Structure 1
């Protein structure tokens, strides 16, 4: 493992402890001007374990990876590779994750961008 960086080894170590097929875990590390991108490849049967309920496990791994990256003064992101023909249903346009992404970008009229003049104060919140 001398050719792998610490952040890459860290992801592999964490994920191998979660999955049923640890020998199928592998990562690719790409560095560019935006930072480090680690792409995680796992057995399709283990996808649910790595993502977790409502993405909680994947979010936790990403948070830990950001901390590891911060110690190295690097921006590190994790991409979980999803092979063609995966069992996950397509994401609905009105899913909570989609709305959250849109609101972060300011592009969804349901969150802060509507023509309605109602404010939080008007709602008594």
Structure 2
């Protein structure tokens, strides 16, 4: 569920939606989502002063509350 959410949000923000890639790393108590976008689009996903990244993380944590797991978003460049 969270993977699809991040993928949808990232593809909506970037100029090159084909360059969006989300990897999921499952742990016992937490899940790590690695978001990789094209080099030119990293700034669009992070936003000024990290505002967009913070908003995406807020939506992600709200979505993950149902499962009871902690979800972490890492934006790779």
TM bucket normalised to smaller: over 0.9
Task: Return the alpha-carbon distance in structure 2 between the equivalents of residues 26 and 8 of structure 1.
Answer: 10
Root mean square deviation of aligned Cα: 0.8
Q: Aligned equivalents of 2:67 and 2:17: distance in 1? A: 27
Which residue is equivalent to 2:47? 52
What TM-score do the two structures reach when normalised by structure 1?
0.60
Identify, as 1 or 2, the structure richer in helix: 2
**Offset at 1:63?**
0.6
Write the distance in 2 (CA, Å) between the matches of 1:71 and 1:18.
26
Corresponding residue for residue 58 of structure 2? 63
Q: Partners of 1:44 and 1:19 in 2: how far apart? A: 10
Largest Rg, 1 or 2: 1
Pairwise CA distance, 1:27 = 0.5
Task: Select the residue among 14, 21, 34 that pairs with 1:19.
Answer: 14
What stretches of structure 1 move > 4 A for 4+ residues in a row? none
2:31 aligned residue (36, 41, 56): 36
1:74 offset after TM fit, Å? 1.4
Paired residues, number: 77
Q: Aligned to 1:48, what secondary structure does the other structure show?
A: helix
- Provide the rounded CA distance (Å) in 2 between the counterparts of 1:47 and 1:7: 20
Structure 1 gap segments, 5+ residues each: 1-5, 83-125
